[in-house]
Amino acid sequence: MASADDISSMFYDESEKLENLINNVTTKSELSLHEIIETYFQIMNVSSMAVILKQQLQADEHKILLDKIIDIERVISEKFNSSIHPQVLKKLTKSIQDSIKNLQSEDSEQKSKEDIENEAKLYEELRQKMSTKEFVEQYDKGLSHD
């Protein structure tokens, strides 16, 4: 079983990873699907750890760690949930709409085998965007239940 020090050290590492991801997200105008998923997973990971640690830690014995937890929860709430997350959802929705529009406007005349198979990659990208959006919407539902 991991000791309190191990858990504490793990939380500091994971929080640092999250802060780096959030900083990366705020500096970029476009995020890849991989970056979106990685950031959301890290948010969920750190949030879950925070919940568990808060139940286990004593206010007087672990003040520094508890302050760190409160600090990172504030970053998640104020920086991510209120600002970054709505932007991600909005951009994904727009990107999906644009992809659908582009694919619908594709010429349906006779196409070569190569053309069809290249176009299929665009459909695959659209499916990946849609599934990422579903994932982000699940997170959003969780927020509305909080």
Partner 1 sequence: MIEDIAKNLVHLKKEFTKIYDGKSQIQELIPVSKSDLFPIKQKDLELLHQFATKNPIYYNSYEKIIGRTLCIVYEGDINKYWLNSIQYDSSYQPFYPTWIMSAYVCVLLAKDLGYHEIIDIGSGDGRIAFCAKILDLESYSIEIDDMLVELQKLLTILDFHPHCSDAVAFDYFSLNLTHPIFFIGGLPQMGGTQLASGVMKKINSISDLKRNTGWVFTGTYSQKYQLDPKNEAGWGTLIEKNNLKSVQTLSLPTAWAFHEPEETPYIFTQTVSE
Q: Residues 104, 105, 141, 144: which binds partner 1 (CB under 8 A)?
A: 104
Smaller CB distance to partner 1: residue 5 or 107? Answer: 107
Smaller CB distance to partner 1: residue 51 or 122? Answer: 122
CA distance 1 to 106: 58
CA distance 54 to 70: 10
**Could you tell me the two tokens for 47?**
């949030």
Smaller CB distance to partner 1: residue 61 or 124? Answer: 124
CA distance 59 to 57: 6
Give me the amino acid identity at 90.
Answer: K
29 binds partner 1 (CB under 8 A): no
Q: Residues 10, 70, 103, 143: which binds partner 1 (CB under 8 A)?
A: 103
Q: Residues 6, 98, 119, 134: which binds partner 1 (CB under 8 A)?
A: 119
Q: In sequence order, what are the residues at sequence separation of 6 or more whose Cβ sits closer than 8 angstroms to the Cβ of residue 102?
A: 122
Contact letters (x/-) for partner 1, 63-102, by CB under 8 A?
A: -------------------------------------x--
